[in-house]
Amino acid sequence: MKNKPMEISNLSLVVTDDCNFNCSYCFQKKEKKYMSQSTMEKAIAFFYPYLKKETESIFWGGEPLLAFDNIKYAVNLLQERNKQEKKKIKFYLTTNGSLLSEDKLVFFDRHGFDLMLSFDGLTQDTARKAGSSKRMPGLIKQVRKYPGIVFSVNSVFTPETIGYFSESLRYIIELGVPEIIVSLSSIHPWDQKALDILAKEYERLVEYLFSYYKETGNIPVNDFKIPEGPPRKGFVCLAGQNRMSVTPDEDIWGCYLFHDYLKQKKGSDDYRHYHFGKLDDFIKNHETRYPAVLANYSDLKQDMFFTEREHCFLCRDVEQCSTCPVNAAFSTALIGKIPPWLCDLNRIQRHAKERFLRWTASTPYKSKKKSE
């Protein structure tokens, strides 16, 4: 059988493992490691020919803005290399915002960055960094002045902060954020009490979002967007399949999350199983190395995962479920093993979304201008 050629639509450069925050739920092991410009040169020269006509280029950290000069360097390299073929390369960056400044925003605006700000609303000072919430309203206003930046906020909640969930999202929406991605921390277990609070908080959020939608026609929380196209059947992790990631130590993984999880487990079976090798070695041997390691990634499908209660392929929710197997492994210590409370979290989120979509289907938004 012919090997699948490497075709990448998502290339991540982990520009640093360092961070100037110490968020309570962060799963990353911080190290003062920065990707060098020579690693960027090698990585971009090698991977460029394998990038598809439309590609996402992600700058990941730690806090990537600690390496802003190198991000600029990589963007320039990619654009220089892309002068002839003119592939559509879209840049992405997630930041805690502490180092954002006018000159950086001008750069992101010029290059059409998708900029995601990490901001937890009312729990920012306890969960992320004391005093860091003060600057956020002004910063959000400042970012929104740049039309070239696609702006969103990522908000994380834990069993300890979940009581502030709906109020926090409402606060962020009212600051004018057009899109919010909700992340529920999978580092610490969610007990029944926290799950009950989550269910109630989702009810409050759905009520607020519905009235907001009736008023504006907008749905600013990503999970609640009205789906386009036919429903997806069965989740597949795309690590290695169409995405690759390079780290400051020149390790190659199918997704940056493998780096975050496995860099603390060097020598483990999972490390050997999913590691594509070091950059120099991969450049020399990718024709054999890529298909050999990719075969290990191809097992990462929802129906291959399991919990201690059941196998996912026997679960009635398997077709609607999308669980990142690495995210789950931060809690179970095994890629593909899902903690049962993560299933409960997913179900609560899904039921809230179904309820919201039923409401919006029965009361579609009518623009005031049109109906006048």
Q: Summarize as ranges the residues that interact with ligand SF4 (CB under 6 A).
A: 237-239, 255, 257, 302, 305, 307, 310, 312, 315, 317-318, 321, 323-324, 326-327, 338, 343, 346
Question: Which is closer to ligand SF4, CB of 134 or CB of 232?
Answer: 232
CA distance 205 to 356: 10
Q: How far is the CB of 332 from ligand SF4 (least distance, A)?
A: 11
CA distance 339 to 191: 12
Question: Which is closer to ligand SF4, CB of 276 or CB of 305?
Answer: 305
Q: How far is the CB of 318 from ligand SF4 (least distance, A)?
A: 4
Is the separation of the CB atoms in 359 and 210 below 8 Å?
yes
Give the length of the chain: 372
Question: Which is closer to ligand SF4, CB of 124 or CB of 247?
Answer: 247
Q: How many Cα atoms occupy the beta-carbon half-sphere of 100 within 13 Å?
A: 24
Question: Which is closer to ligand SF4, CB of 68 or CB of 290?
Answer: 290
Q: How far is the CB of 342 from ligand SF4 (least distance, A)?
A: 6
Instruction: Measure Cα distances from 6 to 52, 179, 282 in Å.
Output: 10, 32, 12
Question: Which is closer to ligand SF4, CB of 196 or CB of 319?
Answer: 319
Q: What dihedral do alpha carbons 40, 41, 42, 47 form, nearest 10°?
A: 80
Give the torsion sign (CA, 342, 191, 184, 163): positive
Map residue 159 onto helix, strand or coil.
coil
Q: How far is the CB of 349 from ligand SF4 (least distance, A)?
A: 11
Q: How far is the CB of 238 from ligand SF4 (least distance, A)?
A: 5
Q: How far is the CB of 353 from ligand SF4 (least distance, A)?
A: 14
Q: How far is the CB of 275 from ligand SF4 (least distance, A)?
A: 14
Question: Which is closer to ligand SF4, CB of 115 or CB of 321?
Answer: 321
CA distance 99 to 108: 13
Question: Which is closer to ligand SF4, CB of 173 or CB of 343?
Answer: 343
- ω before 240 within 30° of 0 (cis)? no
Is the separation of the CB atoms in 59 and 71 below 8 Å?
yes
Beta sheet of 251-253, edge-to-edge order: 180-184, 150-157, 114-118, 88-95, 51-60, 8-14, 243-246, 251-253, 277-278
Q: Hey, what long-range contacts does 281-287 have (CB within 8 A, 24 or more apart)?
A: 282/46, 282/252, 283/42, 283/46, 286/6, 287/3
Question: Which is closer to ligand SF4, CB of 161 or CB of 320?
Answer: 320
Q: How far is the CB of 177 from ligand SF4 (least distance, A)?
A: 23
